[in-house]
């Protein structure tokens, strides 16, 4: 398997009960080669989408800010703060 770390994403949820249980640091990678079959897990059912038809409306609201840059090959570090409706309230993205 060949992969490259491409993003460090910090997500903050100050408006939820017990935000320390929600706050998270996520690492995303670009995988260019792999062996085996992609399979469904308890967390996700993988699907393929045309790069110009990614269904951002079905994803967390932060994805539309960082995923296009990631897919263009940029390396990112990003922080997102979510409001009480779990929508992006504030964000910062730094690129290399």
Tell me the pLDDT of the chain (96 aa) as tens digits. 677 778 999 999 999 999 999 999 999 888 888 888 889 999 888 888 999 999 999 999 999 999 999 888 899 999 999 999 999 999 999 988
User: Are the C-beta atoms of residues 93 and 69 closer than 8 Å to each other?
Assistant: yes
Q: Give me the pLDDT at residue 85, please.
A: 95
Q: Which residues pair with 22 in a beta bridge?
A: none
Q: Give me the pLDDT at residue 33, please.
A: 83
Q: Give me the pLDDT at residue 1, please.
A: 64
Q: Give me the pLDDT at residue 20, please.
A: 92
User: Are the C-beta atoms of residues 14 and 84 closer than 8 Å to each other?
Assistant: no
Q: Would the pTM count as exceeding 0.85? A: no
d(CA 75, CA 94): 9
The total number of residues written for the chain in this structure:
96
Angle CA 72–51–64, to nearest 5: 70
Please provide residue 52's backbone torsions phi and psi, each rounded to the nearest 5 degrees: -90, 5
Domains and CATH numbers, the chain: 2-95 (3.90.79.10)
């Amino acid at each position: 398997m060949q992969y490259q770390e491409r993003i460090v994403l910090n997500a903050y949820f100050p408006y939820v009960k017990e935000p320390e249980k929600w706050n998270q640091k996520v690492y995303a990678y670009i995988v260019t080669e792999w062996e085996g079959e992609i399979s469904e897990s308890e967390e996700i059912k993988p699907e393929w989408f045309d790069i110009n038809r990614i269904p951002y409306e079905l994803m967390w609201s932060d994805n539309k800010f960082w995923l296009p840059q990631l897919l263009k090959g940029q390396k990112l570090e990003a922080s997102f703060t979510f409001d009480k409706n779990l929508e992006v309230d504030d964000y910062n993205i730094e690129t290399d």
